[in-house]
Structures are given as structure tokens and as C-alpha cells.
Amino acid sequence: MKKQSAQVAEDKASNKGRVQDSFKAQVLVEDARTGLSAEALKKAILNQIFYAQGKYPEIATRNDYYMALSFAVRDRLLQRWTSSVKQYLDGKNRVVSYLSAEYLLGPHLANNLINLDIYKETEQATRDLGIDLQWLIDKEVEPGLGNGGLGRLAACYMDSLATLEIPAIGYGIRYQFGIFEQDIRDGWQVEDTDNWLRRGNPWEIERRELNYEVKLGGHVQHYMDRDGRYRSNWMPELTVKGVAYDTPILGYKVNTCNTLRLWKSEAPKSFDFQSFNSGDYNHAVNQKIICENISKVLYPNDETISGKILRLQQQYFFVSCSLQDMIGIHLRQGEKIEDFNVTFAVQLNDTHPAVAIAEMMRLLLDEHDLEWVDAWRVTTRTFAYTNHTLLPEALETWDLELFGSVLPRHLELIYEINKRFLDEVTIKVYGDHQKINSLSLIGEGPRKFIKMANLACVGSFAINGVAALHSELLKKTVLKDWYAYNPEKFSNKTNGVTPRRWMVLSNPKLTDLISEKIGENWIKHLEELKKLEKFAEDPDFQKAWMQVKLEMKQELAKRIMLRTGVKVDPESMFDIQVKRIHEYKRQHLNVLHLITLYNRLKQNPNMEMVPRTFIFAGKAAPGYKMAKLIIKLITSVGDLINNDPDVNHRLKVVFYPNYSVTNAQRIYPAADLSEQISTAGKEASGTGNMKLSMNGALTIGTLDGANVEIREVVGEENFFLFGLTEEEVVQKKNEGYNPYAYYKKNKELKLAIDQITNGYFSHLDKSTFKDLVNNLLQHDPFLVLADYESYIACQDKVSEAFKDKSSWARMSILNTARMGKFSSDRSIREYCDEIWKVKSVPVKLNGN
């Protein structure tokens, strides 16, 4: 017995030892996978080099190390990601679903290091391995899944949703090729393929088990079922499969990690063996090519019918996959389909996903057997719509016949929605045929068309603009009849941007300076920047502030030299206009000022003038000829000025190619002057104006978009205002605007335009800018010439202000200090409280 007892004790001790060893091993594994110390991160990188890359350190390439570090960081995201999903599902919380055709995310690695709060630890870990962290960060290929402000706003909102611990899923398209790479050749924009996936994407996880069928084309059969109900059966010409690719989106210093789910299109059957066997090799893979084209490229050129069809297919493809996915999540939680809107609040980011209204009705009616009234109740309690444009031509429409050829069932549903809605309208606005036609989902004309903004308005419970002025103008112009009909639906949600990327990541020196004075709480509560105001008059703080600005300008100057070969003076004023190239944004007005300064210097070489470096960046849509011509004008004027020894020590012109999130992060911190000069009443909001002001740039601008609110908060004395107001723009056009009269009246303006006309900036080739000049003199749709004189006078005030270094520093500090309103955190709180009705759900890590 004693021997038996002794054996039992020995076995227990042995077992305890094994358990302890096992526990230690688990701790080591956990440390390598989830630890946040420099030592744990170093081990994780080495493990990834060996187990994921199949290399040993001595032969690993720079890309191997980048991938290894990214996978190591992603492991730490996954722990938070799975915890977030589990907590959301277990708690049955209402989830925000953000539908956007664009997500201009920017590089992930550095942003995730900041949000995990392990930037310094990672620097140490890579240093111990003999590698520079910035060298790896610069290796990352940016996912160009957006065109501009719309896609970047979606990315900022995803960051804020996670930071505020709001359950959310972003849905979009995993474009194989993003927005084009821009090169400048002989001054012209040249587009090249943006193959952002060429080295792989360590941040996404393929979810092949999450796939949905999407029907396209064909016809609809109608029949009566056994219960005598009228039913529809869509017989498609083509069926596409959407496969999910998930990217974790981590909040700042929280455990919340939300999901960005992007859809890739594939063929349900990628290879036709019978065709191949019979020798028809092309047909064997034809279906695969057709289906994969849908998620191939961001915004295909829609000047052709085939391009229009492809773009409509893209929009429907991603909203169908997304809604099917949401319904699946809802039903797996044991909920009834009638209560879908209790589980999800779906935000339409502009009209690109507006077809979701009709698709939701199709799914509820045809797939889930709801009656019309019940389906419409669920639909109209699910969706909210954000409008992003005041340009009538930018309100999306689809040729009715083309739409029906792609989505025949949805055309039927839109007709039925329209019929029922107009029955209500006719009673309410008896006899007002203009209003009935305005509210109709179907536009009349030589060819009928579907008005997607109207579909979004009728199917949503909330409609919002993105700046105070924009929202008011929506009510007065493009959506005025909708506001008159449903005023309770309308609200304003001024855009915001995330300070994590646009200050902490892009301007670390300024971040450190601010945090030394007021602590770090401002990073999550941007309104606390207000505490900087008391230092605005402090000479020592002004000196430190402007030293940071100078160092950022020096860094940008080095990049400009490497990228363009233009040598610029960091002590000069950096006058910056970086945004999409468009006539209404009026880059050509900026160029006219540039030419005016050039002429003044040539006519009076001894005149006193503040040295300026004009920095432009932005992409023109491939089919937008006038925007491309504006780029050519910028580069042509720049070539002449930069090579003219009479002026090039005081004037320099740079067109920084391939504008992207990465390049924006380098440019914004270096800006002295922010050009926000769009025609009043044309810019919905703008977000570049916010990012530049946050980084201490002073704004010269019109009363347009968010400029109005920026001027209100920073103070009129810290904002350079010029130009016609929106009301004055309308009045001028109504009175019969004559741009030629402005040209004849102003000598400096006439000289500048005559020089462009006569080929002074184009090697005496008068044809180069003929179309641009004719457009300005004969039409000038965005009142460039009308605002020229006011703009030049205001720029003269800017130059005078820049001479007083102390005053400029004070204004710069106050611009940053008063930008708290423009955090995307504030925007998202307003959406949560006033539209989505959702609360934050703090996440505990699994095992805690």
C-alpha cells in the first residue's frame, strides 16, 4: 500500500510538473503571439521569418522582414479581433454597417503600431535585429482602394468607430487594381496600373467559407405559389460568387478591433473541363475572366456602355454580398428576419451603394417571403444616407434600359416602390406636378433614367449632409423637394478626420511638443487641444513650434528633390494645394496667382517679396481632359519659373506626383498655407482643409464647405477669406456672368491669360492651352476670373502676415488649438447618438 501511495504521489508530482511545463510553454507561445514588449516582438519577428517566410535571418530580404513584422503585429490584432466579434455576438448589440465603394486606408503597419501603443517597443525590437523600423514601414504598398475624400472619410470613420468602441463592420470591394499610379511625363499625367497586391497583403484574411452568389442579367419569371401569392423568380444570365477578405481595424489604445470586409468576385465554376477537353481553351476560362472583372479595378472608365455596365455590376455586387452577409449574421443569432433593423444600422456612403434599397427588398420578398408592407418597414428602418455632393451632374443616375438589362428584378421593384410612393405624394402635394416629377425615382427625357439619390432618400430613415453649409444648401437646391416632403429626415454631420493618422503618425515631432505641454489625452479627445491657446503668445513655445514646422519642411524638401529634382528652400513659405484635380477646386486660379507673382518680379526685380514654394499634388480622373490640362499648365509654368534665374530664388513650383495617403502624410505637416479655394457652394465639405489646419497651416479660402466652420472656430483673424459667397455666385450667374469683362478690366489678369494664350509657357505652342483659355473667357463655370482680384489681394495680405514671424506662429498655434471639432471621433459620436442609436461596447480580451 505504501509503495502504491508513493507511486501515486510520484505520478501526481510528475503530472504537476508536466502541467507546469505545459503552462510555461503556453506562456511562451502567448508571449510570442500576443506580447507587447520589445523582446516579445523580436521573438515574434524571428518566428515569422522562419515559420511564415521559410527563411533564416541572414538570407531574409527587406520584404521578408516587412511581412514578418506585419504578421507579428497582425497576431496582436487577432487576439483583439476575435474578442470583439465574440463580445458583439454574445451581447446581441446593434452593429453599424458602413457601405462604401471606396476605402482609402493608407498603410497599415505604422498606424497599427500607434493604436497598439507599441511603436517604441517595435523600434527597439527591430534595432536589436539590426534593422531600421522606418525602412520597413516605407516598404509597405498602400492599398489604393479609393479615389479621394470619400474613401479617406470612410477610413477615418472606421478608425473612430473602433476607437469609440462601437460595434461596426465596413463593407466594400477588394479591387485587384486600385486607383492608378500617376506619373508626369512631359508635364502630362500618365496613368499606370496600381498593382497593390503584387507582394501580397499581410493584413487581410481570406474567408473562403464566407461566399455568396450574386445574380446578373437574365429575366424574371412570375407565378402564383400554392398559397395564391404572387411570386417572382429571377433567372440570371450570369452568376458571380463574392468571397470575403477581412481586414482588422483596431481602435486607439482599446481592445476593440472591428472588421473591414471586402468582396472579391469569382466564378462559381472557374474552369469548364468539357470546353477544355473539346479544344475550346478560351471558353474553358471565359466565365472566370468575366466574373473576376467585376472586382478587378476601382472605378472603370464609364464613358463606354461596357464601362457603365461594369460599374453598375460592381455597385450591386458588393451591396448584395454585404446584405446577404448581414442577414446571415442576424439569423445565426436566432433572430427573426422581421427584426433585422434591430441588429443592423446601415449607412450608405453617397449614392454608390443606393441600389441596396432595392436589393434589401428583393431579399426580404423573394428569399425570405415577407409581405411588401413588412419588407418596406424593415428596409426603411435600416438605411441612412449621406449625401456628398452639391453638383447636380454628380447625383448618380442610370439609364433605365441599361439598368434593367443588368438588374431586371430590381427595375421591377423600383417601379413598384415609385408607384406606391408617388401615390402618397400625389395626395400630399395635390396638383404640384413639378414636385411629383422631382420626387419620382424615374426621370423623364429622351431616355428614361433612375435617380439613385431619390432611391436613397425614399428608402432611408435619415439623410445628412457633411458640413453645415452643405446641409443647408442640400435643403435649398438638389434635395429641396425631399426636405419639403420629409424635413424630419434631414440633419448635418460635419465631416472629421482621425488625429491618430493625421497628427500622431504623420507629425510625431508636433505630437511630442503638444503632449509635453498638455499631456496625451488630446489624441482621443481632440477638444483638449484648446489647452494650447495659453501658450500661443509664449515666445519660447512659438520658437519650438516653428522649429518643428521647419524640420518637417526640410524633410519634405529632401523628398521633393529626390522625387522631382526641384531644389526648394525650407525657409520659404510652403504654399500648398493638394487634392483631386477638378475645375471647381480651381487649381488654375492658384496658377494665375503664381503667374502674377512671376510677372511682378520680372517687371520689378528689386521688389520685396516673401519667397514662396508652390506645391501642388493630385490626380485627374483619366477621362477628365480639362483637369489633365490644368496639370499640364501647372508643370509648364513650373518648368519656366524653376529655370529662370531672375526669379527662382524667390519662387519655386512643384507638382508632387502620385498623390496618396502616404504622400499626404509627408506634405500636410510641412504646410504654411493651405489653399482651399473652391467656388463657394460647390465643395460639400473637404477634409484636407481640416488636416492641414490641424498641423498648423493657415487657410486661404472661400466660404465653402467646412471652410465656413473652420473659420468660425479658429477665428476670422486667423483665416484669410476671399471671394464671392454662395449667394453672390448664384446672383452673378442669374444676372448673366460675363468672364471676358473681368479679363479686359484687370491688367494683371489679362497679362497672365495672354501669356498662356500666346504659348509663353508652352514653347510658343498656342494650341496647348487653347481649350482651357477659351473655357475661362467664354464660360468660366466656376467663376475663376470673377474671384481673381479678391484672391490676389488676399494673397498680398498672406505675404505681409508671413513677414511677422511671431504673429504667424501665434496664428499657426491657434489653428491647431481650435481644431477639436474636426475629429472624426466627434462626427461618429453624432452619428451614433442621433442617427444609428448605438452605444459603445468595451471589449475584454479572451481569457481576461
Q: Which residues are catalytic?
A: 388, 579-580, 585, 687, 691
At residue 272, what is the residue type? D
Task: Please report, as a single letter, which amino acid is at residue 133.
Answer: L
In the chain, the amino acid numbered 329 is I
CA distances from 199 to 55, 139, 249 (A): 16, 10, 21
How far CA 482 is from CA of 175, 460, 478, 845, in Å, comes to 34, 12, 9, 46
Q: By C-alpha distance, which of 151, 150, 170, 152 is closest to 161?
A: 170
Q: 399 phi and psi, to 5 degrees?
A: -55, 130
β partners of residue 449? 399, 443
* Cα–Cα nearest to 203, from 77, 104, 292: 77
CA distance 379 to 341: 8
- Output the DSSP codes for 800-821: HHHH-HHHHHHHHHHHHHT-GG
Instruction: Give the cell for residue 41.
Output: 516582438
Q: Determine the Cα–Cα distance for residues 344 and 358; give it in Å rounded to an integer.
A: 17
Nearest partner of 376 among 328, 335, 424, judged by Cα: 424
- Report the distance separating Cα 164 and Cα 429, nearest Å: 43
Nearest to 674 by CA among 701, 656, 713, 655: 701
Under 8 Å between Cβ of 654 and 613? yes
Side-chain-side CA neighbours of 541 within 13 Å: the count stands at: 20
Q: Which residues pair with 224 in a beta bridge?
A: 230
- What's the half-sphere exposure (Cβ side, CA atoms, 13 Å) at 135? 12
Element holding 38 (H helix, E strand): helix 38-51
Distances (CA, A) of 527 to 103, 684, 774, 809, 818: 26, 23, 47, 20, 8
Angle of CA points 547, 549, 553, to nearest 5°: 115
Q: What is the C-alpha to C-alpha distance for residues 59 and 55, in angstroms, rounded to an integer? A: 7
- Find, among 31, 77, 68, 66, the residue nearest to 49 by Cα: 68
Query: What letter would DSSP give residue 304?
Result: S
CA 80 to CA 55: how far, in whole Å?
A: 28
Give the length of the chain.
Answer: 848
**509-516 long-range contacts, CB within 8 A, separation 24+:** 509/548, 509/551, 509/552, 510/545, 510/548, 510/552, 510/669, 510/695, 510/696, 510/816, 513/544, 513/545, 513/548, 514/816
- Diameter of the chain by CA atoms? 117
Q: How far, in Å, CA of 660 to CA of 45, rounded?
A: 28
Instruction: Tell me which residue of 489, 672, 483, 476 sits closest to 572, measured CA to CA.
Output: 672
Residue with cell 466574373: 291
Within 13 Å of residue 827, how many CA atoms lie on the same side as its CB? 28
* CB count in 10 Å sphere of residue 335: 15
Quickly list DSSP for 747-769. HHHHHHHHHHHTTTTTTT-TTTT
